[in-house]
Amino acid sequence: MIAAGDFRNGVTIEFEGNIYQVIEFQHVKPGKGAAFVRTKLKNIKNGGVVEKTFRPTEKCPKAHVERTDMQYLYSDGDLYNFMNSETFDQIALSRDLIGDSMKFVKENETVKVMSHNGEVFAVEPPLNVELLITECEPGVKGDTATGATKPCTVETGATVNVPLFVNQGDMIKVDTRTGEYLSRV
């Protein structure tokens, strides 16, 4: 159990039958009345964010979220197949469960599969990945003052906006959280 007064960013709790991660917290001591803790909680399973207030002495059970390193093997229609690198157990997860988190991940890359009480609810890709540009129009110099970009398709099929000097066949580094171009490799 964890008291609301001990909340920190990133702590996962069980609250009202769901698993939440504390995104923001603020201890408030008004001039009149008792102190309270104002929080922003992200529902780990569906991604929704809610704001809740707690008394500092209120307690919630701490949720243990397991992050297991698994190798992404291949996709088969609507299923993504993963293998545990230590035990060699394989699991298949549906596209609905994973969402867009795999759009920058190539086969044979290691991802973190997150589960709670044995139930998988999300896949966390690596922060940065190196991808080959498979389709890209040549950049045209023109009336650009600064920071001109063009859309390019990478080997996983996702589209990334890149600077004009990047061409087809280049390897680039992409931030998987935002989908932004970071640099050429």
Task: Report yes or no: 167 and 175 within 8 Å, Cβ to Cβ.
Answer: no
Q: Does position 51 have pLDDT exceeding 90, yes or no? A: yes
**pLDDT number for residue 144:** 60
Most confident of 12-16, 49-53, 98-102, 138-142: 49-53
**Please, what is the average pLDDT of the chain?**
86
For residues 27-36, average pLDDT: 88
Kindly state the percentage of the chain with pLDDT values over 70: 96
The DSSP element (H or E) to which 98 belongs, if any, is helix 95-98
**pLDDT number for residue 11:** 85
Q: Does position 9 have pLDDT exceeding 60, yes or no? A: yes
Condensed to tens digits (0 to 9), the pLDDT of residues 130-161 reads 999 999 888 776 656 667 888 899 998 889 99
**Termini Cα distance of the chain:** 46
Condensed to tens digits (0 to 9), the pLDDT of residues 12-30 reads 888 888 888 888 899 989 8
Number of residues assigned to the chain: 185
pTM of the complete model beyond 0.85: no
DSSP 22-39: EEEEEEE--SSS--EEEE
Condensed to tens digits (0 to 9), the pLDDT of residues 160-184 reads 998 888 888 899 999 888 888 998 8
- Domains in the chain, CATH or no CATH each: 2-60 (2.30.30.30), 66-124 (2.40.50.140), 128-184 (2.40.50.140)
**pLDDT number for residue 145:** 60
For residues 46-63, average pLDDT: 88
How far, CA to CA in Å, does 144 sit from each of 61, 113, 162?
Answer: 55, 43, 14
